[in-house]
A and B are shown apart, each in its own frame.
Chain A
Amino acid sequence: MRTAGIDIGSITAKAAIVEDGKILGTKIIFTGYNAEAAGLKVYEDLLSESGLDTSSISKIVSTGYGRNSVKFSDKTFTEIMAHAAGAYFLNSKIRTIIDIGGQDSKAMALDERGKVKNFVMNDKCAAGTGRFLEVMARALEVNLDEFGAMSLQSKLPSRISSLCTVFAESEVISLIARGEKRQDIIAGIHESIAARVSSMLARVGVSEPMMITGGVARNAGVVDALTRKLGVKIAVSSYAQVNGAIGAAVLASSI
């Protein structure tokens, strides 16, 4: 059975096609202001890149904050279910997931069948998410893709104490003014994210093995900071950013 999953996040829209335990293709585009159009575009782009026809797709599930904007999906699931299904599909041993996306960060505990036992999400505040990193990258005039590698060079991470994105940005600007090294500031930013996420993890309980998903998983500096903070190994899949879409496609095969 060939199924598709579409994950409309606050920054990017992702699509994945799955068939009999295999990933046939994935695609990521920017969501922009029109979530509905982004859902359609990412799906059509993926179909044409994979050389597949709409008629060959049996079921479609949409997920993410824009899940209800995808009018052509057969069913919607929340990103919590989708990430759990995706992680279980990629590695059925995973018991804890950290997902850091554009505006959400969440921790999920899974049982041995890959079902969500419990989850915690950030609320009211986007600190510690992808959007937070984007703001910091702009303040530091560094391409976000270089954040990971740069922070790994740091010997003495700066201390970022503010919990608020806007105030943390001012804090970063004052650190720049004080002449602190960029890599130290970036490492400090990653540590502040790790501190936030680990308190959410403590609420759901940490069971190994653990996996990180979402766009921020691409940042090796965040993964490193979290690994050191938690003292456990964290699996990073090459599909981390499209994990929600893969999970949605997996869920589509069971509806």
Chain B
Amino acid sequence: MNSDNSDFLKTLGIYLLSQAKKFSLKFKKAPTMKDLMMVYYSEAKSARLTGKKVAWITSGGPVEPLIAMDIIPIYPENHGAMIGASKMGAGLCEKAEAMGYSNDLCSYARSDIACATVNGGPIGGLPRPDMLVCCNNICGTVLKWYEVQARYFNVPLFILDTPFCHTGYSEEAARYVRAQIDEYILFIEDACKKKYDFERLRQVGHLSYEGQQLWQAVLDTAAHRPAPMSAFDAFYHLALIVTLRGTKEAVNYYQQLLATMKDRVARGISVVPNEKYRLLWDNIPIWPRTRWLSQKFASHNACLVADTYTSAWCGAMKYIDESKFLDSMAEAYTRIYLNIGVDEMAKMVIEMIDKYNVDGFVLHSNRSCKPYSFGQLDIQRIVEKERGIPCLMIEADMVDDRSFSESQISTRIDAFMEIIKDRKKTEG
């Protein structure tokens, strides 16, 4: 191992340790999140030595076809979250702005683009890509972001265009996306210079489906009162269903996590001591402030029992048919939470309100994420009309902490909790 790699591992280790303090769990039959992420990133960093390929892929992109061909998927968005969580977002965003990128641009994009040029950030930059895979089911920004990175690293870029599904999934959309999946397979064959292994894809598809089912089951444990885990725990444990979806490691990990949560439920252990109020969170976490927010809500005996963000990695599971993984995958990836109409989104939000039995709805209006934040006011109105629970809008950003006004947000949360407490008192 060369010195570049050992430096990388050292930095990575320090970062993972710093993040693991609060949420990390030790399992009998699976490695810790820290160890898994350590192996994952170090394998990617040394891919050049081991002859493996690295693909950078968007968070909502179909990763299974890569895993089946032993390509290591790397997620710049996950990296963006790491940058945010380690409070390095503002500095890297400033760097991107100095490079000429507007501060209206997504902070994941800004911090990733800036980070690539200086090998900065909490882990000293991402492992270099051999190819880029961009799926626009999550937003339109990724198209330009990935074009920038394809030019910077001079590597091929595959774009999977998923039409927006206001309602339903048309025959035309199905054919259009399915045809691109075939092109995707050809792109991978070309990058690997070998024939595609469809049998292996079948196995990976199975593991992906199993992983998603387990992740959903883990999240479902929070429907129990008191909740054994909160959305803040989910933000931490989410990393594997994003980065290692379709692997045995993710399945093992979530089996253990599920067992732990079920055990907590059985023993009546709550993650927020004295849980009295249950809340639903919408949008990407405010990564630099997750600890502050979790303490703030806990100080009111409130637990964020569910969120629309972490559930997005299992929300389209209903469209997957394991026996026809390639065809059904096209539909599942097209109909994810961020690629459907506001009415459909509101329907899912209301289902979650009922399922997790929540007393209030907290919406993070995320300056960075336009597709996630654009329809929030309508969703809030629908929720107020259909379920009559208090809703709170917090204006902030997922990575760039310059967009976080602590005293303003603190007052909003206090007032929101006063309303909920008052209401619960009146309801008896």
Contact = CB atoms under 8 A, between A and B. Distances in A.
A119 interface: yes
A114 to B, nearest CB: 11
A104 B412 CA distance: 12
A184 interface: no
Contact of A116 (B393, B395, B408, B419): B419
Q: Is the interface of A mostly helix, strand, loop or mixed?
A: mixed
A115 B408 contact: no
Given A118-B384, A118-B390, A124-B403, A78 B418 contact: yes
A81 B426 CA distance: 15
Interface string B1-33: 000000000000000000000000000000000
Contacts of B377: 203
B289 to A, nearest CB: 15
A77 B411 CA distance: 9
Residue with the greatest number of chain A CB neighbours at <10 A, chosen from B384, B405, B418: B418
Contact of A78 (B395, B403, B414): B414
B36 interface: no
Q: Which interface class (under 10, 10 to 19, 20 to 34, 35 or more) fits A?
A: 10 to 19
Contacts of B419: 115-117
A78 B414 CA distance: 7
Contacts of A118: 384, 390-391
A44 B408 CA distance: 28
Interface in B381-428: 384, 390-391, 393, 395, 403, 405, 407-408, 411-412, 414-415, 418-419, 422-423, 426
B418 A65 contact: no
Contacts of A7: none
Contacts of B403: 124
A115 B415 contact: no
Contacts of A81: 415, 418
Contact of A115 (B384, B407, B414, B422): B422
Contact of A65 (B384, B407, B422, B423): B407
A78 B419 CA distance: 10
A52 interface: no
B391 A121 contact: no
A111 B18 CA distance: 47
B411 A79 contact: yes
Contacts of B423: 115
Contacts of B408: 104, 121, 123-124
Nearest to A76: B414
A80 interface: yes
Given A65-B407, A78-B411, A203-B377, A124 B395 contact: yes
Interface in A93-126: 104, 115-121, 123-124
Q: Which interface class (under 10, 10 to 19, 20 to 34, 35 or more) fits B?
A: 10 to 19
A78 B422 contact: no
A77 B417 CA distance: 11
A116 B423 CA distance: 10
B412 A121 contact: yes
A78 B415 contact: yes
Interface in A173-209: 203
A104 B405 CA distance: 13
A119 B407 contact: no
Contacts of A203: 377
Nearest to B408: A123
A204 to B, nearest CB: 10
Residue with the greatest number of chain A CB neighbours at <10 A, chosen from B384, B393, B407, B414: B414
A38 B302 CA distance: 33
Contact of A123 (B390, B391, B405, B422): B405
Contacts of A115: 419, 422-423, 426
A50 B281 CA distance: 48
A113 to B, nearest CB: 8
Nearest to B419: A116
Contacts of A120: 393
A124 B415 contact: no
Given A123-B408, A124-B405, A203-B377, A80 B391 contact: no
Contacts of B391: 118
Nearest to A79: B411
A118 B422 CA distance: 13
Contacts of A123: 395, 405, 408
A45 B418 CA distance: 30
A121 to B, nearest CB: 6
Nearest to A119: B415
A116 B415 contact: yes
Contacts of B422: 115-116
Interface string A59-83: 0000001000000000001111100
A104 B411 CA distance: 11
Contacts of A124: 395, 403, 405, 408
Given A80-B415, A80-B418, A119-B415, 5 more contacts: A79-B415, A115-B426, A116-B418, A120-B393, A123-B408
List the 6 shortest-distance A-B pairs measured between CB atoms, nearest first. A80-B415, A78-B415, A123-B395, A78-B414, A81-B418, A116-B419
Interface of B: 377, 384, 390-391, 393, 395, 403, 405, 407-408, 411-412, 414-415, 418-419, 422-423, 426
24 contacts: A65-B411, A77-B418, A78-B411, A78-B415, A79-B411, A80-B411, A80-B415, A80-B418, A81-B415, A81-B418, A115-B422, A116-B418, A116-B419, A116-B422, A118-B384, A118-B390, A118-B391, A119-B415, A120-B393, A121-B412, A123-B405, A123-B408, A124-B408, A203-B377
